[in-house]
Amino acid sequence: MTANIYFTGGHEAWRRYKGPLLVALKQAGVAAVLSPTCPDPAAVDYLVYLPGTVPDFTPFTNAKAVLSLWAGVETIVGDKTLTQPLARMVDDSLTEGMVEYVTGHVLRYHLGIDRFIGATGWNKVVPPLARDRKVTVLGLGQLGTACAQALAGLRFDVAGWSRRPKEIEGITCLSGADGLDEALARAEILVLLLPRTPETENIVNAATLARMPQGAAVINPGRGALVDEAALLASLDAGHLGHATLDVFRTEPLPAEHPFWAHPKVTVTPHIAAETRAASASRVIAENVRRCESGLPLLNLVDRAAGY
C-alpha cells in the first residue's frame, strides 16, 4: 500500500526537506507519494506539518496522523478542528543542539567570561569549581533531562523541577509548589525548558524571581511565554537578577524596538538553541509513518489534555 503524504511547510521548507524525506522513507521501507500540494484532502494519509500552515484540519477526513516538525505544539494542541493523532518532533540532533547551547551559556555565566571580553585591566577573579555552583533546570522532559545530566557530568550541583515527581541519577529532583520554591531559592543559574501550558505561562514572574539568589542568571531556550518580560526587566534594572540569555520570545522575530535588544544585562539569540535538522527529523517522520502503517503506536504522541 502506498501512503499519501502532504508536506504543509511551503516552498522554502519543501526545498530543504524533500530530499531527506524521500531518502528516509525509502530507508524505512515505506512506499509513499510525497507532495507539497493538496488537491484532495480526503486522499491524504499523513500530514508533515509546520505550525501555522493548516488553518483547518476538518477536510483531512482519512488522515491517520499529523506529524509535526516542531517539538513545541502549543500553537496547535488547542485546535478544535484537529481530531487526528498528533505527534511532536523528538529528534536526537535537536537534543544535542539544546545540550550544547545550555552547557555553553551555563559555563559562560559560571566562569564569568563576559567580564574578560574587552577587558583592559588585570582583574583577577577566580570562579568557583562547578561542584560549588548551583544550577536549576525547570522542566525534566527529554531536553531538560539531557541538559541536567550533561551539567551534572561537568560536576555542577544540579537540581531539576517538574510537575510530576521524577528520579534521575545525579540530579536533585523536585516537584510541586514547595519543590518549585526550593528549586528557585538555590538557582544561581536557572535554565527554563518547560513546555508552554496554562500552568507554566509566566512561571518566571516578579514573585518567583524574588525567590532566586542575588545576582542569579536566567537562560531561556524553552518558550517565550514562560517569562513575564516586564518582571524580568524590572528585576534586572533593580540589580537583583544579574543577567538573562533569551533564545525564545512571545513575538518572533523579536521586534527591533524591544528593550531586550539594548539592555546591557540581556543577551538575545535568534531562536537557535535547538534547530530542527532536515536529515534527522526526516528519519523520525519516516519511522512514524512506518510504525503507523504497520499497526504500531506512534512515537512522541501528544497528550492533548496535558498540552504536550
Which residues in 40-187 belong to E strands, given as ranges?
Answer: 46-49, 65-68, 86-87, 134-138, 157-162, 172-175
DSSP designation for 209 = H
DSSP designation for 195 = P
**104 Cβ neighbours under 8 A, 6+ residues apart:** none
Between vectors from CA 187 to CA 185 and to CA 189, what angle results, nearest 5°?
160
Please indicate whether residue 290 is annotated as part of the active site: no
CB atoms within 10 A of CB 127: 13
Please indicate whether residue 271 is annotated as part of the active site: yes
* Coil vs helix vs strand at 223: coil
Please give the Cα distance from 108 to 86 (Å, whole number): 37
Please say whether the beta carbons of 172 and 159 come within 8 A. Answer: yes
The residue from 240, 271, 277, 291 that is catalytic is 271
The residue from 88, 133, 196, 223 that is catalytic is 223
Which residues are designated catalytic?
A: 223, 271
